[in-house]
Copies of this chain bind each other. A is one copy, B any other.
């Protein structure tokens, strides 16, 4: 008795014996090797490309001779002529086993391929989309054995793809009969694999082999901006990214003013719901047009947002979130259909909303947890998502705590005399010369610093318009390091500080950043009231983090991750000089960029991650700062601005303060002071 040839797949190492003539795709399926195919081995889709290896494989104990696979055939030749096959590649459905062989499945031929993330410290995304394409040949109707077209289609999908008994969207019932006949009983189906709310379903049917792709949206629905990534659901690639202002801004800059708008105006909440959905649809039009795709090819969408946006987007009046006990309508994840939310993507498209953690800690924080995974960190990690409210996670493999801290909108440039949203013209980077005590800065939309040639020209029409959130943080930190402001937060006079930019301004002093009045522009200053606002905001943030540390029973953390669109722009050093975050070695303070958006993308591309984050959120310990006396204590103690060196002698005298106690001193790193602020990976 002769033995059938041995087929070994790499990288999985799976192996088995197969009769001569077995297609590689068939062998892969029987062994459960992850080899892609949309057409089911009919030589149409070319997704099952593999690379045979020849020679001796000591690890596997086989020698592969040329001729171990069948000869290159006409189907492969045709595909190569039209689209080109990479050198050494074969189509797994065409190449058949002739002798022992080692076959490599390249990453792009794997269904559950890894989508690589740029940051070294985080996990790649394993592709596991909700919806996939399947090509099938359907039995024609037969009067001797009458059955519905759908039933024969479902039978074909079960037979060829081992899919369960599928249901069909009403839209599928309406379009399927035409597609089946136009495609001569060959069709491509988009199949949603089901979740806890929906049974597995056929969502769309195309006649013949659909030579296109289907897409998903990962949407970060912020109070100020709505940002979306459009992803190819087959390979996980981001094909377009786009953002717009949240049209709800006309109802209030910050969340609490929107909640109030809803309470003060009959139908106000409904108005805001309509506004955000309209904005969303405008964004979808924009992003689809950018990618050059038809919006109806968007079959899945994942949304992350804070609780107020979550409720407003779903059409739930958020008034309960504006008052204790801050009760969410629902904290669980939601699975809906696009049509229920009036979204102009494919009407059968699914919408997944991540779970909320608590009344102040939303699905955006859950998304940050999904991206940054404090629950699997061996180190104790503090993750801070800085926005109007700071959402804070602290944890490691042992447990994860979460809270929200009412920082107010100062970090977003609001309630600051020259503050503005992050937009072209806003000052975002500042350095103050320790000798001359004069500032230099850079504004959004330009790479030229204010003391460099061509600065004004580089700004275009916007000019210098104000200071955005990251700008004000750098300014205050730089002012503290340059001895212009003291620990309790008072700006010194020109005499006290030796800075020509300090000037008396009523009963306190202000500091001039930029005087554009000569060119008809604004005069941009930092007032002592601005300093006070930042002190309040940073104290709130710090106190939230400290509270979690108390609850965890620690007084230091191993590392700090700054998340949020805003977090992406803060320089960690300035944040620490300001005392926004507890002490940590500076190289252990990293920016995660828009981690909430990344979390949305993970949940979009990997449905297994949805169950995972739902489970994680259930296990997170929620701490409500409003009812924790320790929070108030920390807050009172945290308003000082730490620095290694006290500035002007008239207030305190020159003293060196200990490095570790942030609230009275700090880790100001004079050597790094001139380091150019960097943008985190967004």
Nearest chain B CB to A193 CB, angstrom units = 16
Q: A170-B336, A315-B174, A324-B143 are in contact. Are A329 and B626 (CB under 8 A)?
A: no
Number of copies: 2
Per the bound structure, the CA–CA distance linking A151 and B325 in Å amounts to 15
A34 close to B (CB within 8 Å): no
Nearest chain B CB to A646 CB, angstrom units = 40
How would residues 295 to 330 of chain A score, 1 for a CB under 8 Å from any chain B CB and 0 otherwise? 000000000000000000011110010001111111
Chain A interface mostly: loop
Smallest Cβ-Cβ distance to A199: which chain B residue: B197
With a CB–CB cut-off of 8 A, which chain B residues contact A1?
none
A356 close to B (CB within 8 Å): yes
Q: A170-B340, A325-B141 are in contact. Are A332 and B197 (CB under 8 A)?
A: no
Per the bound structure, the CA–CA distance linking A463 and B610 in Å amounts to 70
Nearest chain B CB to A210 CB, angstrom units = 20
B328 near A148 with CB under 8 A, answer yes
A144 close to B (CB within 8 Å): yes
**A329 CB contact (under 8 Å) in B173, B314, B624:** B173
A167 close to B (CB within 8 Å): yes
Per the bound structure, the CA–CA distance linking A149 and B624 in Å amounts to 17
A150 close to B (CB within 8 Å): yes
**A148 CB contact (under 8 Å) in B143, B168, B356:** B356
**A316 CB contact (under 8 Å) in B177, B197, B358:** B177
A622 close to B (CB within 8 Å): yes
A149 near B330 with CB under 8 A, answer yes
How would residues 421 to 439 of chain A score, 1 for a CB under 8 Å from any chain B CB and 0 otherwise? 0000000000000000000
Nearest chain B CB to A319 CB, angstrom units = 8
Interface residues of A in 125-151 (CB under 8 A from B): 140-151
A632 close to B (CB within 8 Å): no
Per the bound structure, the CA–CA distance linking A167 and B335 in Å amounts to 10
A326 near B174 with CB under 8 A, answer no
Interface residues of A in 332-380 (CB under 8 A from B): 332, 336, 340, 356, 358-359
A581 close to B (CB within 8 Å): no
Nearest chain B CB to A45 CB, angstrom units = 27
A519 close to B (CB within 8 Å): no
A177 near B327 with CB under 8 A, answer yes
Per the bound structure, the CA–CA distance linking A150 and B176 in Å amounts to 38
Per the bound structure, the CA–CA distance linking A178 and B327 in Å amounts to 12
B197 near A329 with CB under 8 A, answer no
Smallest Cβ-Cβ distance to A151: which chain B residue: B331
A74 close to B (CB within 8 Å): no
A266 close to B (CB within 8 Å): no
The 3 closest A-B pairs by CB, nearest first: A148-B331, A141-B327, A146-B358
Please list the residues of chain A having a beta carbon within 8 angstroms of any beta carbon in chain B.
140-151, 167-168, 170, 173-174, 176-178, 196-197, 199, 314-317, 320, 324-332, 336, 340, 356, 358-359, 622, 624, 626-627
24 A–B pairs (Cβ distance < 8 Å), ordered by A:
A140-B325, A141-B325, A142-B325, A143-B325, A143-B626, A145-B622, A146-B328, A146-B331, A148-B328, A148-B330, A148-B331, A149-B328, A149-B330, A150-B329, A151-B330, A151-B331, A151-B332, A167-B197, A168-B330, A170-B340, A173-B316, A173-B330, A174-B316, A174-B329
Q: A144-B624, A197-B199 are in contact. List 9 more A-B contacts (CB 8 A).
A: A143-B359, A145-B622, A146-B327, A146-B359, A147-B328, A149-B320, A149-B329, A150-B329, A177-B320
